[in-house]
Chains A and B, each alone.
Chain A
Amino acid sequence: MWKKIYIWLDERLGFDDMYKMLLDRPEPHGNWWNTLGSASLFLFIMQGVTGIFLTVYYTPSPDHAYDSVQYIMNGVAFGWLIRGIHHWGATLMVLVVFIHMLRVFFSASYKYPRELTWMVGSLLFLLTLGMGFTGYLLPFNQRAYWATVVGTNIGGVVPGVGPFILKALRGGTDVSALTLSRFFSIHIWMLPATLAGSIGLHLYLIMRHGESAHPTLDD
């Protein structure tokens, strides 16, 4: 019976091909530094899962954001754990992605034929920072609010386009309800969608060119 189901599914999905393509790939002898990329992916998935759970109770309006976060922390079963993981996951993700980037730089893995992998990867790093910046405002407490006031102000000093950047980030002249709702939208839709797509491209490029070998003296 199980065998029949397996054969039926295999005919259509092609488990064997998948195994050969995805898992049974030859690789150069790796070391522990090579695990940082998959660790970044794992943290991205963790942030996604905990973030989705958080949206169940979180309300992106200035009147309710703070109280809804308080409720998640004190009222919802294991809400503190979910938020705690999301909070620390953000810090850890920035750290792991950054160290991953340094690893690739110091082992010169970005050189031919993996130039595009690096370019997509550095974009992923910037997107991660963007996630950190937009997510920071969402609890809408003192720290979040003032950090965003200062952070968006920095965008405003760019000569010429500064005032426009400031207005576009804040949705007006001040950090307000509009800022919160656009940061929320950027944080849960725009950046994650871009991130997911770029991660897909990044992974495809890694599979296409294979993991880079550690440079030896004659490289």
Chain B
Amino acid sequence: MNDETKKKIKEKYEAALQKGERFWPDSIYKDLLVSFALFILLIGLASFIGVHPEPKVDLTDTSYIPRPEWYFLFLFEFLKYFPGNLEWVGAAVIPGILVVALIFLPLYDKNPSRHYSKRKFAVGLMSFIVVGMVFLTIKATLTTPPQEESLVANSIAEKMSLGQDLYSIQCVECHGPDGYGGEVVGVEGLEGTIIKPINSQDEMYTRNDDSLMSIISYGQPNLGMVPFGGAYGGELSSSEIEYIVTFMRYTWDDRAEVPADAVTSAIPALAEGEVPSYEVHISALVKRQCLSCHREGKENNNYLMDTYAGILSGGNSAPNVVAGDMNSNLLQLIQGHELTSSDGTLIHVMPPNGKPIKDEYIDMFIRWVEAGMPETAAEATALSGE
């Protein structure tokens, strides 16, 4: 650029200043207004959308789909166009060239014109790049499958509740619903083993949370307890083990101060004349008392109780419940009666360890079958109104 053009540019700028404004107060008020608007926007985003809760790091979760922050998505998507042995071109060479080109732009852009109509190539190229980035970002957002939502507890009460759910499924078979232990019945390889209580003051006072978490994670091979941590072949993530320990600590340790909002009974009680529904009562009851065995991968005559349809018609002895029929298989079994096939051979006795479920839970099942097994709370209310 020669001195004459430089002089011309300076003169033009001086002229623009002449009919311009002052920084204070003319333009700074616009700056302050925009910044203030951004401030309000930030507070709004933080208050009404917040930060999406994410689970703890779990190295064993192979189903997790990693994805970068949204403003790197375009790069992520861009890399997909490069086959494995050329990945370095998309990852290093092209972005590297673009970054260098961006930084040193003023040094090689020799076009002295500033108005966009005289910079067709530059404006076109930049628009192409920006449109490409936006396109790749949108494409990446649309093509990545949604993340499987995992439960994230935010308070002790939530941790206790999630922990109790997990305990009811993973631990009750051996340790019992209240942690009293006793003789194990119906667990492969541990039949007849006597298990000491884990809910005692002794246990709670001598083991801290860390050692409880380690025990659950590693198991106790010498005593027959299998590892539950995902890293050691179990099915629990580190967050889930933490929830179980939180449940144990706040339920059995007499020093723990249970937060006021903690739900102490996860199974809602029935009022006089109220009809239980699957949605509110039976699913909660089944989760605590039955699912531990009646889920996939356990010995249960294929009777899986994790869905409404499963409870009604799953398993080898379906139908399990008939509306209003007090001799329904399910009702007979939970009361300790034997289930026999039509030719008189014994199929199954429940529950396997000879300890029937509490009377109030049996009553809940009976009232549910009596009313015709309503699925939703609305259906149950309608039935109780008759």
Residues of A at under 8 Å CB distance from B? 19, 22-30, 32, 34-36, 38-39, 42-43, 46, 62, 66, 70, 73-74, 80-81, 83-85, 87-92, 94-96, 98, 102, 105-115, 118-119, 122-123, 125-126, 129, 132-133, 136, 139-147, 149-151, 154-155, 157-159, 162, 210-213, 215-219
Partner of B6, one of A39, A81, A112, A142: A112
Bound: A217/B88 CA distance, A: 43
B contact residues around A89 at 8 Å (CB): 42
Q: Which residues of B contact A23 (CB under 8 A)?
A: 22-24, 28
Contact of A122 among B22, B50, B102, B155 (CB under 8 A): B102
Q: Is B206 an interface position by the 8 A CB rule?
A: no
Q: Which of A84, A215, A216 has the most CB of B within 10 A?
A: A84
List of B residues within 8 angstroms of A110 by Cβ: 105-106, 109
The prevalent SS among residues of B at the interface is helix
Residues in B whose Cβ lies below 8 Å from that of A84 = 42, 45-47, 50-51
Tell me whether B187 is interfacial, beta carbon within 8 Å.
no
Closest-by-CB residue of A relative to B117 is A217
**Distance, CA A149 to CA B65, complexed state (A):** 12
Chain B residues within 8 Å of A95, by CB: 71
Instruction: Decide if A158 touches B91 in the complex (CB within 8 Å).
Output: yes
- B71 x A112 contact (CB < 8 A): no
Known: A27-B26, A115-B106. A102 touches B116 (CB 8 A): no
Listed from nearest, the 6 A-B pairs whose CB atoms lie closest are A84-B46, A146-B66, A115-B106, A23-B24, A141-B54, A215-B114
Complex: A109 Cα to B366 Cα, angstroms: 80
Which interface residue of A27, A30, A43, A115 has the most chain B CB atoms within 10 A? A27
Q: A111-B109, A129-B71 are in contact. Are A29 and B20 (CB under 8 A)?
A: yes
Q: Can you report 24 A-B residue pairs in the complex whose CB atoms are below 8 A from each other? A: A22-B23, A25-B23, A27-B22, A29-B16, A29-B19, A35-B35, A39-B35, A42-B39, A81-B43, A84-B42, A88-B46, A88-B49, A92-B41, A95-B71, A107-B114, A123-B103, A133-B69, A142-B54, A157-B91, A213-B12, A215-B116, A218-B115, A219-B12, A219-B115
- Tell me the bound Cα distance from A118 to B103 in angstroms: 7
* Set of chain A residues within 8 Å of B205, measured between Cβ atoms: none
Q: Chain A contacts of B97 at CB under 8 A?
A: none
Apart from the given pairs A39-B38, A143-B54, 5 other A-B contacts in the complex at a CB distance below 8 Å: A119-B106, A142-B56, A145-B57, A151-B72, A218-B115
The answer to whether B22 touches A126, judged by C-beta atoms less than 8 angstroms apart, is no
A38 touches B35 (CB 8 A): yes
**Residue interface mask B1-21, A partner, CB < 8 A = 1:** 100011001001100110111
